[in-house]
């Protein structure tokens, strides 16, 4: 397991070197979207319409941040459970996105899409939203403001800490960790 510092947008060269269990500090622009926003984005893709941001090389953070305190760009910004995006993530990866950030396991279709499209599923530490919010230096709602905290935001991150859960090689950190402790006959 290795440590990396990467700047967005990511390339296949960036993602292919990552292995499940690696830790990464992300820098640059990432986008926020949860299930309601993902449905709208995938609908636009299926209709061949323009998205509110360029998917190529993008990372999408599954988060619904709290309102910022005065002087802060964002409030608490902890990851949400990722399985709610499972039906949308393969389409997002197929159309250029390179990564997702959330918490919890993903279904096989998402893992397969990570392999097929050089994508990465990163885990962020649940329960650490206030600390993660401090790594966000700017935040701007760019689509679907009526969704409130679930609106699509363009955020800038500095040394945002994540762990590779699913890599481009088909590895799954959750399965690897479990296998270490399973009783073998």
Phi, psi of 163 (to 5 degrees): -120, 140
Locate all alpha helices (DSSP H) within 48-182, ordered by sequence: 89-94, 108-116, 129-133, 173-181
Residue 98 near residue 119, CB atoms below 8 Å: yes
Q: Which of 34, 38, 98, 106 is catalytic?
A: 38
Distance CA 129, CA 49 (A): 33
Let me know if 50 is exposed, middle or buried by CB neighbors in 10 A (0-12, 13-18, 19+).
exposed
End-to-end alpha carbon distance in the chain: 28
Nearest to 154 by CA among 144, 170, 135, 139: 139
- Note if 169 is an active site residue: no
**HEC profile of 20-60:** CCCEEEEEEEEEECCHHHHHHHHHHHHHCCCCCCCCCCCEE
Q: Which residues are catalytic?
A: 38
């Amino acid at each position: 397991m290795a440590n990396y510092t990467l700047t967005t947008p990511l390339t296949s060269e960036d993602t292919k070197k990552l292995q499940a269990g690696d830790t990464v500090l992300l820098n640059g622009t990432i986008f926020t979207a949860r299930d309601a926003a993902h449905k709208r984005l995938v609908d636009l893709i299926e209709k061949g319409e323009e998205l509110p941001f360029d998917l190529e090389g993008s990372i999408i953070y599954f988060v619904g941040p709290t309102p910022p305190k005065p002087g802060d760009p964002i409030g608490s910004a902890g990851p949400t459970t990722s399985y709610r995006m499972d039906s949308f993530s393969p389409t997002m990866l197929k159309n250029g996105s390179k990564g997702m950030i959330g918490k919890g396991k993903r279904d096989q279709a998402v893992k397969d899409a990570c392999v097929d499209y050089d994508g990465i599923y990163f885990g962020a530490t649940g329960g650490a939203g206030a600390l993660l919010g401090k790594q966000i230096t700017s935040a701007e709602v760019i689509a679907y403001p009526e969704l409130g905290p679930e609106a699509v935001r363009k955020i800038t991150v500095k040394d945002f800490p994540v762990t590779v859960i699913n890599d481009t090689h088909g590895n799954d950190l959750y399965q690897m960790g479990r296998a270490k402790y399973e009783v073998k006959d």
